[in-house]
Amino acid sequence: MVTTEFEIFLVATPGLEAELCEEVKALQFKEPKIIAGGVTISGNWPDIWRANLQIRGCSRVLARIGSFHVGHLAQLDKLAHAFAWKKFLRHDVAVSVEATCKKSKIYHSGAAAQRIETALKDVLGTTIDKDAPIAIKARIEKDLCTISIDTSGEMLHKRGHKEAVAKAPMRETLASLMLHRCGYDGHETVVDPMCGSGTFVIEAAEIAKGLMPGRSRSFAFEHLKSFDAEQWAKLQSAGQGRTTTHKFYGSDRDLGAIKAATANAERAGVLDVTLFAQKPISDLVPPSGSPGLVIVNPPYGTRIGDKKPLFALYDALGKTLLKRFSGWRIGITTSDSSLAKATGLPFKPLGTSILHGGLSVNLYQTEKLP
């Protein structure tokens, strides 16, 4: 059954569903609800466009355009042919099809995808291409087939600004939700003393300036039948940003990282409120003005193998922060509790663990340091 208003699934980084839901509520989307892997809302196509454009912490936006019960492949073939594809898809735009099967009589995902591909070719004359701009996702769970369209295209952490990346890059979507978990709302200074390509700093600056995360890129929904270029242009022009009195600081021992972060900040339009400098942790001092947030994603040792040298690094970081950053809150991500303990910082009880780059990490936070 297909309706004008439908369920929209906002994909989250595992472990940060609650933070994404809070962001979605603040942006006044309808009926946000946390489910496994993300948040659902209710809406229509303009809500899809706005979600892709405005939500910082979302990885993908899936439009759930219909569902039906199905018990075997012949039935799937028939129901896929009867589905209202013409309401959503253009015949001249290629699509890809992906199917997953769970706890269902149909258990062969490849055969299920093939039936849907055949229906699309028969009904619309659609070209099937794994690299197509539109991806159809069919999820068959407990014999219920839910058809979704991936309206984002490239994952939403690809804002269109970061050309240069560090060795172990932090995704922008993840960085924004970690900032949110630390209580950051755009109204304080943020410092990252191991900034890499500048993701935390740039994301914090964008939030402070009210810049929409999707402002510089294109989306898959622009290839759908429902797309209205005029309405989309109005939505894009509605968010022109604002001024901020706060500054955002990144430092790193690697000069290449500092050059990359500066270039990324310029592309993002936040160079006027960011400052990047090459320096070691031992030279870190708080900027002038009111205390704010120090957030850092240090090395975990998983990529370099031996963790022993990292204990000295975490120890130095903790000592510098305790000595010089009185009144500041601290957030540190790591996959190793013993490394976090090596900082000597007074961490609060942990929140849910977060999946980052295939690793389970935690965000260790303090209250304001004494």
Element (H, E) at 264: helix 255-268
Distance from C-alpha of 237 to C-alpha of 334, rounded to nearest angstrom: 39
Token pair in block for residue 178: 């970690």
Pick from 210, 287, 303: which is nearest to 250 by CA? 287
pLDDT digits (tens, 9 = 90+) for 53-63: 999 999 999 99
- pLDDT over threshold 60, residue 73: yes
The predicted-structure confidence for 281-309, as pLDDT tens digits, reads as follows 999 999 999 999 999 999 987 655 567 78
pLDDT at 232 over 60: yes
Lowest average pLDDT, out of 31-40, 233-242, 357-366, goes to: 233-242
| Burial of 81 from C-beta contacts in 10 A (0-12 / 13-18 / 19+) | middle
In the sheet that holds 329-334, the strands lie side by side as 274-278, 248-252, 190-192, 293-296, 329-334, 359-365, 354-356
Angle at 269 (CA atoms; ends 166, 164), nearest 5 degrees? 20
39: left (phi over 0), alpha (psi -120 to 50) or beta: beta
Is residue 180 within 8 A of residue 22, CB to CB? The reply is yes
CB 25 within 8 A of CB 34: no
Q: What's the confidence (pLDDT) of residue 1?
A: 34
Neighbours of 292 (CB within 10 A): 23
Domains of the chain: 6-150 (3.30.2130.30), 172-210+246-365 (3.40.50.150)
Q: Average pLDDT, stretch 15-32?
A: 97
How far apart are alpha carbons 325 and 16 in whole angstroms? 28
Token code pair at residue 57: 């912490």
